[in-house]
Amino acid sequence: MRTLSTPSPALICPPSSQAFINGKASSTSSSSVTGETVAMVHAPPITCLPRPHVRPAARMQKEQAPIDILPDQAFLQIFSHLPTNQLCRCARVCCRWYNLTWDPRLWRTIRLTGDTVHVDRALRVLTRRLCQDTPNVCLMLETVIVSGCRRLTDRGLHTIAQCCPELRRLEVSGCHNISNEAVFNIVSRCPNLEYLDVSGCYNVTCISLTREASVKLSTLHGKQISIRYLDMTDCFVLEDEGLHTIAAHCTQLTHLYLRRCVRITDEGLRYLVIYCTSVKELSVSDCRFVSDFGLREIAKLESRLRYLSIAHCGRITDVGIRYVAKYCSKMRYLNARGCEGITDHGLEYLAKNCAKLKSLDIGKCPLVSDAGLEFLALNCFNLKRLSLKSCESITGRGLQIVAANCFDLQMMNVQDCDISVEALRFVKRHCKRCVIEHTNPAFF
């Protein structure tokens, strides 16, 4: 049972507002810059304190408030949909809400957003409160989402690492001030971490255990990290050596996104495939040094690979597509937009070997023509999404062949293609659920 003197954090306290501390009004403007959201520790709601002079009529009116009729379970259901800052505001309403908002079932996730949030301080205050029943350890917290909080620093991540050993999911995308050291500390102290999003964190170059953790753990498990989902999009300084380290430590990876990691080469992909044999989804979009040799390595994932994005990898040609199509026959999604070396021959091999393909993007591939679409239509009957944006050689004939065979088509992008209104209407008649994205003003 929580005592009424237990402090609770209010994460949303505008500088100009009044906060009640020990029953007295106090301005928060002295502890914050203008417009900044701060984390405070405040006393329980003033309604929880004894009030000897409360009039009976006022008390009766309060007891009859319609919202008070709701049972606790209903309140918990409502509170479960609130973000962290709003949940903390609800804790200040009354004594009953205060006790309900700190129910452990509501604190499996912390979600903070915005550039003005003082994230390090907020995390420190929250974890301190959540650790009250189990000193120094927050056993219920499993997910922390602080994406876009640019004020997050290594201090905030160190707080999470020290207090949240049961953490399973961490999203810090767009937090530019965190470094390798903080990420290493997280993965070393949170052995159950499975989902990690560090996209846009420019200073992160690797994912590994700290030296201390490697020494303490046994030889069998000392180099293993349980991460399965890793997003390192826009981590521009990631190189092959860093990818090698990631692959060696995160052998259970199933989802890996390396979009715009421009220093990655075919050698890095070779390391990846050696250690991470269970990868199902892989994106190396805009990695300009990845070539057909890299796709040859990726093809070693064989039927396990279901999703592959190689958009704007200018060194990829039909040769690389043949490797992937031959060995990854269960692939469902392929994004090859901007791979100008792909022709109808590569599309033919892809269609005949990956018949279960559901989504294909070959936009800005000028060498793909109606002949390639015909192979696609006669083999990939389950196709649901097709993007042909800026394919100069595509005509209405190719679209009609696709529409006549792929009845389940749900999206088709033919923007910047010379397609007649009649062809677009033909597609709409045969694929009634298909949304057509086009630039023909005569078709609507």
pLDDT of amino acid 11: 46
CA–CA separation, 148 and 168 (whole Å) = 19
Q: Could you report the per-residue pLDDT of 66-106, keeping only the tens digit for each?
A: 887 889 899 899 998 888 888 888 888 888 898 899 888 89
Which of 66-80, 317-331, 398-412, 413-427 comes out lowest in average pLDDT?
66-80
pLDDT of amino acid 213: 60
pLDDT of amino acid 220: 39
pLDDT of amino acid 6: 42
Higher pLDDT, 32 or 443: 443
CA–CA separation, 226 and 193 (whole Å) = 6
Q: What is the mean pLDDT of residues 99-120?
A: 87
The answer, yes or no, to whether residue 218 has pLDDT greater than 70, is no
Give the pairing type, strands 24-27 and 18-21: antiparallel
Cβ neighbours of 137 (radius 10 Å): 15
The answer, yes or no, to whether residue 346 has pLDDT greater than 60, is yes
Q: What is the mean pLDDT of residues 258-265?
A: 96
Contact 44, 8 (CB under 8 A): yes
Which of 50-59, 228-237, 290-299, 308-317 comes out lowest in average pLDDT?
50-59
pLDDT of amino acid 43: 53
Average pLDDT, the chain: 85
Listed in sequence order, the residues at least 6 apart from 191 whose beta carbon sits closer than 8 Å to its beta carbon are: 165, 226
pLDDT tier for residue 228 given thresholds of 50, 70 and 90: very high
pLDDT of amino acid 130: 87
SS3 call for 405: helix
pLDDT of amino acid 136: 79
Q: What is the CA radius of gyration of the chain?
A: 28
Contact 83, 90 (CB under 8 A): no
Q: Could you report the per-residue pLDDT of 24-38, keeping only the tens digit for each?
A: 444 433 333 333 333
For the chain, what percent of residues have pLDDT higher than 70? 82
Q: Could you report the per-residue pLDDT of 160-173, keeping only the tens digit for each?
A: 999 999 999 999 99
Listed in sequence order, the residues at least 6 apart from 274 whose beta carbon sits closer than 8 Å to its beta carbon are: 247
pLDDT of amino acid 184: 94
Q: What is the mean pLDDT of residues 326-343?
A: 97
Q: Could you report the per-residue pLDDT of 122-167, keeping only the tens digit for each?
A: 999 999 888 887 777 888 899 999 998 889 999 999 999 999 999 9
pLDDT tier for residue 304 given thresholds of 50, 70 and 90: very high
pLDDT tier for residue 395 given thresholds of 50, 70 and 90: very high
